[in-house]
Structure 1
Amino acid sequence: MIDSHIHLDLYNQEEQEQILSSLSKYNIDSAIAVSMQLSSCIANHKLHLSHPKSVHPAYGFHPEQALPSDSEFQQLVAWIEEHQDEMIAIGEVGLPYYMRQEAEEKGLPFNLQSYIDLLEMFVALAAKLDKPIILHAVYEDVDIACDLLEKYNVNRAHFHWFKGSRATVERMMRNGYYISFTPDIAYEEEIQQLAKDVRVDRMLVETDGPWPFEGPFQGQMTHPRMIHAVAEHLAAIKGLSLEETVQHIRSNTARLYSIK
């Protein structure tokens, strides 16, 4: 299988080598390394060059941080366009749900429209470059993201660690978007219920490492091998064999990202 979303650049060098050298041991083909900003893109680019078969880089700007300046954004876009041939997707991009919630709890103003404008530019870039897009968008933010995807006719969209309403899931399934599940499916009822509503041909698996997990993964370094446990839970929820579930997940990932 393929870990469809991991922040490889956020691990230290020893952890990176430990992960990448052990992928075959755990029957993991490769991992999609998403980026946070330009420096993160450059780090993932280097990882791809040193491990071209194991690391598929995605380049973008994570929304849960201060907005880039105009010059920083233009520099990032220029770099992405220069490296588009090696890039598997635009990502991670999206909307800052958690940062906005934190600001609102403190009674601070928050300019969501500026982040929507930034996301629109990345959606437009994905359309221009004909690349999939990896999205950080949850709850009510998902519908804003869907509006933009529909506006630019971007159908190859991957919502990672999604959370949202059943109506929104139905919209996403109609549009052909993909949703990935993390190891928290082992202990989060909300995620287990979500899996019931996601079509088998739209499911992916991810770790979002180095984000740590609880339950049976408590105290462990997040490793792509954990996606096997995710597949086991998805198989049980969907009433499928593990082999059949793995085949679906592998096929879905390969189809979305044009991986052979």
Structure 2
Amino acid sequence: MIDLHAHLDLYPDPVATTEECVRRDLFVLSVTTTPSAWSGTAALAKNAARIRTAIGLHPQIAQERQGELALFADLLPQSRYVGEIGLDGGPELKATWDAQRRVFEEILRMCRKAGGRIMTIHSRRAATPVLDALAAGDGAGVAVLHWFSGTRRELQRAADQGCWFSVGPAMLAGERGRKLAADMPRDRILTESDGPFAQTDGRSLYPWDAAAAEKTLADIWNVAVDEVRGQLMLNLRRLTSSVPR
């Protein structure tokens, strides 16, 4: 099972959650919201062979944490994974837009200079600006658009630019999310939980809840769940081999 986007450090009991991921033999990309959270979050997975920790600076706090870009640069050589990064066009964040763009563009520049990274990217109400920045910052690595919620036209553009996508139970709970997932390239899609932020039925999702997305993808693709799992494992191998170690 694969969870390509989870905030392990933000669960009520991060240690127990991480241990359960290990017990279930999950592949987890543990994302962070600030560079200063990376070391402690990486320590959770020090004995977990299938958990990777990404260095992030979340767009929703980019303005107040932009001073951590120097730390981001210092940490970048220690991980092939970057996230959560990106842009958020929500109206409540309009005042921070310029800072968000500066931070995102600088992170892409760092990734390009470092030889490329696997990046998990937030693009809520900002798909086109995110894609513009990725196009301008060509060479930054492989972009995985997590919980994509743009238009079908933006989705096509993202696919044309070589982007990947991660989808979870919360995204796939709605008809719009399922329709978007149906149009995503099957060989560039992976599952996620986005826990503990994402919820279904009023309950925070855990990494193992990504299994529900496998079942929904099986319905969307009209194939057996085992076939979905096989495709996702092939996709994961391709993704993790796409950027030099």
TM over 0.5: yes
TM-superposed deviation, 1:31: 0.7
After the TM superposition, which of the residue ranges 1-10 and 178-187 deviates more from structure 2?
178-187
Query: Distance in 2 between the 1:122 and 1:248 partners?
Result: 31
Amino acid at match of 1:144: P
Residue 187 of structure 2: aligned partner: 201
Query: Distance in 2 between the 1:24 and 1:103 partners?
Result: 37
**Contact 1:37/1:60, CA 8 A, preserved across alignment:** yes
Residue 145 of structure 1: aligned partner: 130
Superposed structure 1 runs of 4+ greater than 4 Å apart:
68-71
Amino acid at match of 1:16: P
The gaps in structure 2 that reach 5 residues or longer are none
After the TM superposition, which of the residue ranges 182-191 and 166-175 deviates more from structure 2?
182-191
TM-superposed deviation, 1:21: 2.6
After the TM superposition, which of the residue ranges 163-172 and 128-137 deviates more from structure 2?
128-137
Q: CA RMSD in A?
A: 2.2
SS in 1 for 2:5: strand
Query: Distance in 2 between the 1:180 and 1:122 partners?
Result: 21
The gaps in structure 1 that reach 5 residues or longer are 105-109
User: 1:98-177 residue pairs with structure 2 within 5 A?
Assistant: 98=90, 101-102=91-92, 110-129=95-114, 130-139=116-125, 141-154=126-139, 156-177=142-163
Q: Does 1:19 align with 2:17?
A: yes
Q: Does 1:247 align with 2:227?
A: no
Identity rate, percent: 25
Aligned length: 241
User: What are the superposed Cα offsets for residues 53-74 of structure 1, whole Å, 9 maximum, x if unpaired?
Assistant: 1320100201111514664321
**Contact 1:32/1:56, CA 8 A, preserved across alignment:** yes
Query: Distance in 1 between the 2:68 and 2:129 partners?
Result: 24
Under a length normalisation based on structure 1, what TM-score does the superposition of the two structures give?
A: 0.84
**Contact 1:4/1:253, CA 8 A, preserved across alignment:** no
Residue 88 of structure 2: aligned partner: 96
Q: Does 1:63 align with 2:59?
A: yes
SS in 1 for 2:53: strand
TM-superposed deviation, 1:148: 1.7
Amino acid at match of 1:102: E
Amino acid at match of 1:93: I
Amino acid at match of 1:135: I
Given candidates 29, 32, 36, the residue that maps to 1:32 is: 29
Query: Distance in 2 between the 1:9 and 1:32 partners?
Result: 12
Query: Distance in 2 between the 1:73 and 1:93 partners?
Result: 12
Under a length normalisation based on structure 2, what TM-score does the superposition of the two structures give?
A: 0.89
SS in 2 for 1:157: strand
Residue 10 of structure 2: aligned partner: 10
Query: Distance in 2 between the 1:66 and 1:23 partners?
Result: 29
User: What are the superposed Cα offsets for residues 201-244 of structure 1, whole Å, 9 maximum, x if unpaired?
Assistant: 111110111124123xx43x422111111011011101122111
Query: Distance in 2 between the 1:55 and 1:33 partners?
Result: 7
Larger Rg over CA atoms: 1
Amino acid at match of 1:145: V
Query: Distance in 1 between the 2:223 and 2:50 partners?
Result: 28
Amino acid at match of 1:182: G
